[in-house]
A and B are shown apart, each in its own frame.
Chain A
Amino acid sequence: MQMEKFYYDNRIVRAFGYATVIFGIVGMLAGLYAAVQIYLPQISMNFAPTTFGRVRPLHTNAIIFAFVGNTIFAGIYYSLQRLCKARMFSDKLSWIHFWGWQAIIAAAAISLLMGKTTGKEYAELEWPIDIAITLVWVVFGINMFGTIIKRREKHLYVAIWFYIATWVTVAMLHIVNSMEIPVSFMKSYSWYAGVQDALVQWWYGHNAVAFFLTTPVLGLMYYFLPKAANRPVYSYRLSIIHFWALIFLYIWAGPHHLLYTALPDWAQSLGVVFSVMLIAPSWGGMLNGLFTLRGAWDKVKEDPVLKFMVVAITCYGMSTFEGPMLSLKTINAIAHYTDWIIAHVHIGGLGWNGFMAFAILYYMVPRLWDTTLYSKKLATNHFWLGTIGIIIYTVPMYWAGFEQSLMWKSFTPEGQLKFQFLETVTNIKPLYVLRSIGGVIYLTGALIMVYNLAKTILQGTFVPDEAAEAMPIIKESSPKKEYWHRVIERKPVTMLIISLVVVALGGLIEMIPTFLIKSNIPTIASVKPYTPLELQGRDIYIREGCYLCHSQMIRPFRDEVARYGEYSKAGEFIYDHPFQWGSKRTGPDLAREGGKYPDSWHYNHMYDPRSMSPGSIMPQYTWLLEDAIDTASTPAKIRAMQTLGVPYPDGYDKIANADLVKQEESIAASLEKDKIKTPANKEIIALIAYLQRIGIDIKAEPKKVIVADKN
């Protein structure tokens, strides 16, 4: 048998590497801009695309799918070729993948700023982009599996197990959660409604964290850490156990985002217990990483790559312990809807994902350009700035979350809420300022990295095709007996199928009963579909990203019922495509907003929130007063809703606009009584109609109807 000579494709790695750096900086800048808007709402400049509700999804999508996404692809294209001892399956597919993904990012950035959103967190992109993502993901899959099939290494290394599980699970999550019915180009409604939509969305949202931000990055850790430290992986056994346990258990934990909501209690309990069981499998990855460094800690002092990795893995360990703790109901009752969660995700985002990305870049760039890093000192400075940035970012946010939650829950001895919502916000403003300073420090570190990498690139020569050689796999006529897992490691397709089965279980067991068993969502007779004007208003609510700061889910707590009204019931949301429960209360809950304030209050409040609530941090929405409602879209929207099972009468799409005009005029008339003169066809009118409708249907219901909740 002869050694075969071949070449690794470094060009594609370089391309994804550049994209990582560019979108990392863009994503962080968007985050910083959003962070400053929280205490300086004026800097949205009264311009729709730059308001918080549109910048925030831009930030999250840019960081998750552009920054971390490109990191993953760069790392996979680099490591997969070397672990398979083969060039990528097809250069053409590699480049389709690269340009396809960047085009999706560009389309996402533009459409999100234009307010084209599905209103589901981390899945905001509209249906044409969803389809494009699916196609590009398939291209990536073919390219990856093609490479694995033509490998010259008999067994698949643990990093590749993680890549395979990532690929198959992300495909499943994306397809199931993106089921939506198109209304027009760039507008769709979620296939699911209310409680069901919430369950699917957080099954997706939680596992986007698991299978886009965790498993692929763990795979990268398994390649780059032993390479950088030149140490053997600590325990093969641990790899096997924690890999399978992790992907199996992770899927189930989604409902911990919905504790104390209208989701059935049994599903919430599954979310709790599977989160707790996740501690050990998550920590398995951390232990295998840190223990691999046994005997190499002297190198950690010297090598910035290892420094970044150690802090990244530590942050991973911290946030995967904190996550299960936050899933305990007693702690969740305090932390949910507050900045505590923001702190939690940034330990993961800035610490784990950010630092792993930096480590991988510092590792790859000198090797791709066949040189050494321009300055170790600058890299070390970057490391310290990043670490300090993380601390200054997260500590104030933990503090803010904890303090605000306690204020929300405070009562006077006479039984009154001690603080108005606004007081609890203005109280933590200084902490918001501190947080953004932490962000600036972290960003400064990243910019130093850009300089350092640029200098490194300039001093080296790029190696587009790196020569390598290896023996081809010899087909054995009678394979010798192997450890059972070694057998699976030889069979990538088997591994793919087992992974799919393992990850599909949890979702199926949680979703099927929620969809099929009626008692899970007891119906409420007085809950009616939205009027055409309210529907248009709801779409404006979604477009402006109101759900990013306002929840619509009153939990059964004494303080929330006192502050907002009767706690939310599952049956109230059956016509909500998509659900708008939200996950953060930067502003107050709106689940019972209907009828709380006069129409004119809303009108003035949208024009300038501070005129009605002095000290408010909400941005102005002046364009709503000028733009006309897009009534041409009404019939299509009604028809789409009918397809989804919303009981509008047959042929209602044709007369819907007549009803819409009638309601417009009555609201305009009510405004006029309060000395506000406005044409009736403005967007503000639709939004007021929707806000005045939220949560009032149940009030027409005699109390006894709310039954059938067995748990």
Chain B
Amino acid sequence: MHSQITKRVKYITGICSGLLLVSIQPALAAGPPAPSILSNTVALFLIALMILLLACIAIMGKVLLYVAKISLHKEKEKQKANTAGITASIVAVFLLFSMPLFAQTVVPDAGAVKSATDASIAGMSSEAFYMMMSVIFLELVIILAMLYNMNVLLKSETLKLAIEKGEAKKIPTLSWWDRFNSFRPAEQEADIDLGHDYDGIRELDNRLPPWWIYGFYITILSGCIYLYRFHVSHTGLSNVKEYELSVIKADQDIKEYIAKKGDAVDENTVTVLSTPDDLAAGKTIFMTTCIACHTATGGGSVGPNLTDDYWLHGGSIKNIFKTIRYGVNAMPQWQNTYSNKQIAQVASYVKSLRGTNPPNPKAPQGELYKEEAAQAAPVADSAGKANKEPIKDSLKK
């Protein structure tokens, strides 16, 4: 009797989940082939929710089965004839709640046909949206039904317990943790001992924790969805695409910011700054960034002397600004490190070093620069980019 009922309950649960899968299918089928759906966050969220609820249903189904078993077991113990009554009621309850299943699977279809021409909802076609919403609704109904069912079973159990206080201890108590992991009560350990003995180590045949096995399925499923998105439907961005988009977005943001601020300085508009604040700011940057090559006095070591009148890449404020900003040969570019304002401050500080005659200077390099001549010189010689060929080009094969 007992096993028969268990079988029947299992059978019904099977039907329920089967129906559920069938009802999900159209939604999934509607999902993947149209790449737009999977790139839609709302759709993804809904699909994830559907899967999550399905997992909940599966776990609750197990628990419900277990509770039903205990309840049946008790009945059998009492040798009462009304077992069939309970079975019938369980079956009835299940059937009752599987009815809406049929109803629900039909309704969205009808709705979908009607609204096929409607505008999209939350960025996806309305039929897909309603389909998914109805699946979620359906799943919620099933969960509620199961909760109700469980409640009924457990309530009757506790009622009976209250009546027969003396026997209360015989029923194994299961905490939510025990149920969550599908633990067997410690008293039943002997039943699941496999009889293995390895150097005194025995093995039990406990069930897999339901959350573990369903979690495993979910990771496998999400793995498949991931590969589908990135390599079949191409709705996921490739590494390079992702990078290009981020640069475009950043450029826009910067443009907006500069437009708002309205004081964009560049190599065409820069002038020598002479306020003490600007020069102090320039000096601070110079002392942290430039002295490794140009020394603290600007007299030069690895890099050229900045205090004399000879310049490798031009001595006007505009040329110095440009050299700092974009770099030339061994001189690194600083446009990614410092704002144009800051570069103007450093360039101005460098200009202020002229004629300071530091001790032990580096020999002059480059061409003699005269203040007036450079003022008129054009700045459009492409920032030394043309001759940015690596220094050791001749050494390569």
Contacts and interface: CB of A to CB of B under 8 A. Distances in A.
A653 interface: no
A528 B397 contact: yes
A598 B336 contact: no
A277 B292 contact: no
B14 interface: no
B204 interface: yes
A420 B334 CA distance: 10
Given A234-B206, A236-B203, A279-B215, A601 B339 contact: no
A531 B397 contact: yes
A217 B141 CA distance: 46
A143 B395 CA distance: 56
Given A269-B227, A414-B257, A556-B243, A157 B209 contact: no
Contact of A699 (B194, B254, B390, B397): B390
Nearest to A232: B202
B208 A666 contact: no
Contacts of B293: 598, 601, 612
B115 to A, nearest CB: 36
Given A280-B212, A711-B231, A236 B194 contact: yes
Contact of A266 (B208, B231, B336, B337): B231
Contact of A411 (B181, B200, B250): B250
B78 interface: no
Contacts of B242: 556
B330 interface: yes
B230 to A, nearest CB: 5
Contact of B302 (A79, A604, A711): A604
Interface in A369-395: none
A611 B292 contact: yes
A78 B71 CA distance: 48
Given A237-B205, A666-B392, A83 B230 contact: no
A670 B238 CA distance: 43
Interface in B339-362: 339-341, 362
Contacts of B397: 528-529, 531, 659
A79 B223 CA distance: 37
Interface in B176-212: 181, 183, 186, 189, 193-194, 196, 198-209, 212
A411 B339 CA distance: 11
A408 B208 CA distance: 45
A692 B390 contact: yes
B36 interface: no
A79 B199 CA distance: 9
Interface in A229-245: 232-239, 241, 245
A567 B239 CA distance: 11
Contacts of B254: 413-415
Contacts of A696: 390
Interface string A550-572: 00000111100111000100000
Contacts of B208: 235, 237-238, 241
Contacts of A238: 206, 208
A643 B202 CA distance: 57
Contacts of B224: 273
Contacts of A269: 226-227, 230-231
A83 B220 contact: no
B151 interface: no
Interface in A586-624: 594-601, 604, 611-614
Interface string A77-116: 0010011010000000000000000000000000000000
B258 A414 contact: yes
B223 A276 contact: yes
A276 to B, nearest CB: 5
Contacts of B226: 269, 272-273, 276
A531 B396 contact: yes
B392 A689 contact: yes
Nearest to B178: A294
Contact of A675 (B181, B193, B301, B329): B301
A257 to B, nearest CB: 15
B148 interface: no
A85 B200 CA distance: 11
Given A232-B204, A420-B337, A601 B223 contact: no
Contact of A598 (B206, B223, B303): B303
A282 B184 CA distance: 23
Interface in A661-711: 662-663, 666-667, 670, 674-675, 689, 692-693, 696, 699, 709, 711
A599 B395 CA distance: 14
B338 interface: yes
B391 interface: yes
Given A269-B230, A291-B181, A670 B391 contact: yes
A595 B390 contact: yes
Nearest to A692: B392
A211 interface: no
A287 B209 contact: yes
A256 B86 CA distance: 54
A265 B198 contact: no
A294 B186 contact: yes
A344 interface: no
A416 B203 contact: no
Contacts of B239: 260, 265, 268, 555-556
A689 B77 CA distance: 88
A674 B302 contact: yes
Contacts of B110: none
Contacts of A274: 223
A663 B395 contact: yes
Given A233-B201, A597-B330, A601-B293, A294 B395 contact: no
A667 B391 CA distance: 10
Contacts of B189: 232
Nearest to A278: B219
Contact of A563 (B289, B301, B336, B395): B336
A235 B206 contact: yes
Most buried by A among B219, B247, B362: B219
A490 interface: no
14 contacts: A223-B199, A226-B201, A232-B204, A236-B204, A280-B213, A280-B216, A280-B219, A561-B243, A596-B332, A597-B302, A601-B292, A612-B293, A613-B292, A709-B240
Given A414-B257, A416-B338, 8 more contacts: A83-B198, A155-B196, A238-B206, A414-B339, A558-B250, A600-B301, A666-B394, A711-B238
Interface of B: 181, 183, 186, 189, 193-194, 196, 198-209, 212-213, 215-216, 219-220, 222-224, 226-227, 230-231, 238-240, 242-243, 246-247, 250-251, 253-254, 257-258, 288-289, 292-293, 301-303, 329-330, 332, 335-341, 362, 390-392, 394-397
Give 7 nearest A-B pairs by CB, closest first. Answer: A280-B216, A273-B223, A556-B243, A232-B202, A235-B206, A598-B330, A157-B198
